[in-house]
């Protein structure tokens, strides 16, 4: 039988350094917050000096994260490279499509990239969910 205990903090007040996995989760959370802020700033039309950089971060991070989630089994460097290239391709294809149909707008581009990234996340999540459920039935 295994007992589960709570690790007591050290009495000298010095905290332990976060592990690599904790630091990676913290960095991912900060990226989500920055991307969300970029989305809100872009769609609200706020006059902030952070609007441009955070919107650009959202436009590259959202499809990049969708590609990275779909390529979970790959080598980390290959996954990073393919995700970055895929993110740039998605943003360029959305811009090209909007320009070709004469429907270009900044808000429309941000919404289109966000929607396509969300759709990619939902599709890969549903495939994984279906694959897991197939093992139990």
pLDDT tens-digit series, residues 24-56: 889 888 999 999 999 999 999 889 999 999 999
Inter-residue contact 38 to 56 (CB < 8 Å): yes
Nearest 5°: the CA angle 33, 81, 123 is 60
Q: Average pLDDT, stretch 92-108?
A: 94
**pLDDT averaged over the chain?**
87
Q: What is the pLDDT of residue 59?
A: 94
Q: Give the other-Cβ count within 10 Å of 93's Cβ.
A: 14
HSE-up of residue 2 (Cα within 13 Å, Cβ side) = 1
pLDDT at 135 over 90: no
pLDDT, tens digit, 9 for 90 and up, residues 74-88: 998 999 999 999 999
């Amino acid at each position: 039988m295994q007992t589960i205990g709570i690790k007591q903090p050290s009495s000298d007040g010095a905290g332990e350094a976060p592990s690599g996995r904790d630091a990676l989760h913290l960095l991912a959370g900060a990226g989500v917050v920055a991307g969300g802020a970029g989305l809100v700033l872009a769609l609200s039309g706020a006059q902030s000096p952070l609007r441009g950089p955070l919107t650009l971060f959202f436009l590259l991070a959202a499809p990049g994260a969708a590609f990275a989630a779909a390529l979970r089994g790959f080598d980390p460097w290959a996954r990073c490279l393919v995700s970055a290239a895929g993110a740039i391709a998605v943003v360029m294809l959305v811009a090209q499509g909007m320009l070709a149909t004469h429907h270009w707008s900044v808000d429309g581009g941000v919404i289109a990239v966000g929607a396509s990234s969300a759709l990619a996340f939902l599709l890969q999540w549903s495939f994984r969910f279906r694959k897991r459920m197939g093992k139990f039935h």
